[in-house]
Amino acid sequence: MPELPDVEGFRRLVAANATGRRIDSVVVADSGVLEPGLDADRFARAVRGRRPGPALRHGKWLLLPLGDSSSAHGVPCLLVHFGMTGGFVWCTGHADGHRHDRILLGFESGSELRYRDMRKLTGVRMAEADSEVDELLNALGPDAAEVSAAEFAARLRGTGSGIKAALLDQSVVAGLGNLCVDEALWRARTHPRRKSRELTATELGELHRAMGSVLRSSVREGRVPERRGWLNGIRNERSRRCPRCSAVLCRAATAGRTTVWCPSCQPE
């Protein structure tokens, strides 16, 4: 599933290739990725001829303004969520199509920005008023890469759920997914089922630092890396041992997601 580091990579891809370039053609190969009520013809009419402004990211959402600076968010604005399997691909020349390419935006250079998604779980919205963008952003917590330690602690203490469930809740902190959360909890030596409000100030501070470190390294690579010394580097191995203490790792469903943790480093 694309998490904050992946979406930041997509934002940089768009920024480097599409910003300020005119969209000459729009092909909606599968309207199933468009929000309910937004048909392919209406989408194409709104997008064709536009020049994207600087792409923005908040949590796992990418915002692509297509209007001018007279509105707060450059409406019309595309609001893109990549669900479980989505992503942007930049194709130059006459690159072969892919069966999971759902939307193709053709630019004046002949290149294309393609929205590619196998499972089509979320997709693309179009905001035609600033209030529609605000409605989305107001439903999200602060961006995980930017939230201060104080706000991070306050928001987690305000939940009654386990710490993993709280970190996955996009209304608490936006951008974290299963891999980032497990990695940060392992680094902070925090059990995924501990109650958020029971963590001490010291523990919350350590978790905030661990989260920041995971995100900074992952953003550089555009994904959560399967790196030696990382929990994510061994989480899918048949014989999983903690990179820190060599204890056999636990694997179970927590907060509805497959969770990996070290019973020695992360006692309950």
What CATH number has the domain bearing residue 8?
3.20.190.10
pLDDT at residue 109, rounded to an integer? 79
Listed residues 81, 111, 138: the one ending a domain: 138
187 and 256 belong to one structural domain: yes
| Cα torsion 73, 58, 131, 123: sign | positive
Q: Is 142 a catalytic residue?
A: no
Arithmetic mean of pLDDT over the chain: 95
Q: What is the CATH number of the domain that holds 231?
A: 1.10.8.50
What is the DSSP track for 154-196?
HHHHT--SBHHHHHH-TTTSBS--HHHHHHHHHHTT--TTSBG
114 and 203 belong to one structural domain: no
Q: Is 194 a catalytic residue?
A: no
One-letter amino acid at 203 equals E
Q: Is 125 a catalytic residue?
A: no
- Residues 201-254: pLDDT tens digits? 999 999 999 999 999 999 999 999 999 999 999 999 988 999 999 999 999 999
Quick one: which H or E segment has residue 26? Answer: strand 23-28
pLDDT at residue 70, rounded to an integer? 85
Phi, psi of 57 (to 5 degrees): -135, 140
196 and 92 belong to one structural domain: no
126 and 95 belong to one structural domain: yes
191 and 124 belong to one structural domain: no
Catalytic residue among 3, 8, 112, 183: 3
In a domain, 266, yes or no: no
As a whole number of angstroms, the distance between CA 116 and CA 136 comes to: 23
86 and 209 belong to one structural domain: no
Q: Is 60 a catalytic residue?
A: yes
Listed residues 87, 114, 138: the one ending a domain: 138
Cβ atoms of residues 22 and 49 within 8 Å: yes
Catalytic residue among 203, 240, 257, 263: 257
In a domain, 268, yes or no: no
Question: pTM for the complete prediction?
Answer: 0.95
178 and 252 belong to one structural domain: yes
Strand 87-91, strand 61-65: pairing: unpaired
User: Is pLDDT at 94 greater than 80 in this prediction?
Assistant: no
The number of domains in the chain is 2
In a domain, 223, yes or no: yes
In a domain, 257, yes or no: yes
133 and 169 belong to one structural domain: no
Catalytic residue among 2, 5, 52, 192: 2
pLDDT at residue 93, rounded to an integer? 73
Percent of the chain residues topping a pLDDT of 90: 90
- Residues 159-177: pLDDT tens digits? 999 999 999 999 999 999 9
Q: Which range of residues forms the domain containing residue 243? A: 149-261
Catalytic residue among 11, 50, 57, 60: 60
